[in-house]
Structure 1
Amino acid sequence: MSDMSTKLRMLAAAASIATMVTCSAYAQSFDTSGVKVDQALADRLPAKIKSAGVLTIGSDTAYAPWEFLSETDGQTPVGIDVDIADAIGKKLGVKIDFQTSAFDAILPALGTKFDLGISALSITKERMKAVNFVSYTQSGNLWAVKAGNPTNFDPANLCGTKIAIMSGTSHEKEVVEESQKCTSSGKKEIELIPFKVQTEALTRVAAGGADATFSGPATIGYAAKNSNGQLETMEATPAMAQIGNNGIAVAKSDEKLTELIADTINSLINDGTYKAILDTWGIGSAIVDKAVVNPQVND
């Protein structure tokens, strides 16, 4: 097949996946208008944020269903994290400025450009050296392959496979570690094809340009469900399917804001808003009982 034919197939797959995911997801956003201000929490806002009346949030907005841009204008962020951020804003009596950022640029910009990072960020020991986290959902891992699994991809035998992956993620780190195990045992390394956004990795797989991609179950499951039969999911092996926490990131130096965000999430848990948001998006399995500052993690 010619390079041009391959590119055309990839473009068609990209348009199809992007259109179906955005169209179906946009309609189910949670209505946060009923969330009331908690004045005791609002009074604890840092003076700078209180004065501006705005919480500025950095997010990679190409990671449906967590955060992505609506099909109506290609600019308005929607998704699980957007709804959670809006609910936080309502509780604290401030507006939310949800800004698109490269994924790996979110954490370095906390405390300067962004007040919070809300982007389905996995909490890791390495990341906690640089920022504070407030746990707010739990997540595992899942594979996506082209429908019918034409390359016979086997999650238990990754050596020598070609994996599309989103750069800077914990999923990339896990696959790199698996590749190192391959080479140390004399087997062929895993070929990683990095992308800045997860939709591009999914598109590459749907077009047949990679054996699989690896990400969280909400993202992979949602993409497969809305891919018009172009993608299917595969369970990860137990070693790569371990449950972890996603966290809202706050500048390491801002302990007061970190504690305030934890208390705000717990207020949303207690009044039922939190569960209603996650249930609206069909990811009740990601619910946590309590938001915790810098929880213990395994890696």
Structure 2
Amino acid sequence: MKKFLAVVMTAVLAMSMMTACGSSKSSKENKDTTAAKAETTQAETIDASEVTLVSDGVLTVGAEMGYAPFETLQKDGKTPEGFDIDIITEIAKRLGLKVNFINTSFDGILGKIGKDYDVVCSAVTINPTRKKAVLFSTPYITNYQTVVVKKGSDLKINSLKDLDGKSVGVQKGTTSDQLMSEYKSTKTINVEVAANDKLLNCFTQLTNGEIDAVVVDSTVADGFVAKNPDKYEKAFSDKTEPEEFGIAIGKNNAKLQEAINKALEQMDKDGFLKDTADYWFSSQE
């Protein structure tokens, strides 16, 4: 897994509920690109017979479908797509399970594990506080907190503390929200935090001049900037504090954690993780 993380970072540095049962068709197939990534390799099926699930034979996944390129909805407004979608769909296949996605707000998303869904695969940063409430898979990608500003902004940001006296947009419940809120509450810097339910609202505020910057995950920042090069630009990425994303699992579901980790190990070794990361973070049109 560490090898995969290194490869990924070398290669690349927002309906309240939506269900997509048993959907294994990848976004790459939908876009008529190469089929190599979409096809499941002939890996040995991982035994999931002792795993506790909300619904028998189905891996039910909680995700907030407004965080491209990790998870979002296609133009039909129904079909999930993204890096996390492809990863967790492949894991379910290797466990011999169907997959069912539940679209839910990220704020409070972990509290519904074991009730509404089995796992959360939604760009969740592994941190000590969250580890007290849930189990995590092995990390599957590394990320950095990044500041995005309007194109041509004269703001000079060399650290997150340079946001002193500024107003920033963050998505509620994310690491970015927690970090900026901590800075504000401890008076580390004087920052005005605009916490939104949907990340898209943050960028709308930035476009309208309501805030000075958006603080968000580096991989998401890359996507917004790539798609809107005339609107936004990255001002700073805090590479001194790397973050790892993991799949969150119920605290008492160690069997499921073990099975997911085995699948991730397979996917690392056979190249599925790298191919999927290369597509979503390197080959976006």
If each structure's helix is expressed as a fraction of its own residues, which one has the higher value? 1
Instruction: Please tell me whether the aligned partners of residues 48 and 96 of structure 2 are also in contact (alpha carbons under 8 angstroms).
Output: no
Instruction: Please tell me whether the aligned partners of residues 218 and 283 of structure 1 are also in contact (alpha carbons under 8 angstroms).
Output: no
Q: CA RMSD in A?
A: 2.6
| Residue 137 (structure 1) aligned with residue 141 (structure 2) | yes
Partner of 1:232: 233
| Residue 148 (structure 1) aligned with residue 149 (structure 2) | no
Select the residue among 108, 116, 120 that pairs with 1:117. Answer: 120
Partner of 1:163: 168
- Structure 2 residue matching 1:235: 3-state secondary structure: strand
How many matched pairs?
A: 252
Partner of 2:268: 269
Change (3 A) 1:46 1:219: same
Change (3 A) 1:237 1:46: closer
| Residue 52 (structure 1) aligned with residue 53 (structure 2) | no
Return 5+ residue gaps in structure 1 as ranges: 1-13, 15-22, 285-299
Q: In structure 2, how many angstroms separate the alpha carbons of the residues matched to 1:210 and 1:95?
A: 42
Deviation at 1:132, TM superposition (A): 0.5
Partner of 1:101: 104
Select the residue among 80, 91, 111 that pairs with 1:77. Answer: 80
Q: In structure 2, how many angstroms separate the alpha carbons of the residues matched to 1:110 and 1:192?
A: 28
CA deviation digits over 1:215-260, x for unaligned, max 9?
Answer: 111100110110151111111356xx51111110000011111111
Q: Which structure's CA Rg is the greater one?
A: 1
Select the residue among 34, 38, 41 that pairs with 2:44. Answer: 38
Instruction: Return the TM-score normalized by structure 2.
Output: 0.80
Give % identity. Answer: 27
Deviation at 1:173, TM superposition (A): 1.5
Task: Detail structure 1 runs of 4+ shifted over 4 Å in the superposition.
Answer: 28-31
Partner of 2:255: 256
For 1:8-27, what aligned pairs fall within 5 Å after superposition?
A: 27=31
Instruction: Return the TM-score normalized by structure 1.
Output: 0.77
For 1:152-231, what aligned pairs fall within 5 Å after superposition?
A: 152=155, 154-156=157-159, 157-180=162-185, 183=187, 189-231=190-232
- Structure 2 residue matching 1:55: 3-state secondary structure: strand
Change (3 A) 1:84 1:94: same
One-letter identity of the residue aligned with 1:263: K
Instruction: Please tell me whether the aligned partners of residues 36 and 91 of structure 1 are also in contact (alpha carbons under 8 angstroms).
Output: no
Instruction: Please tell me whether the aligned partners of residues 61 and 101 of structure 1 are also in contact (alpha carbons under 8 angstroms).
Output: yes
Instruction: Please tell me whether the aligned partners of residues 70 and 76 of structure 1 are also in contact (alpha carbons under 8 angstroms).
Output: yes
One-letter identity of the residue aligned with 1:209: E
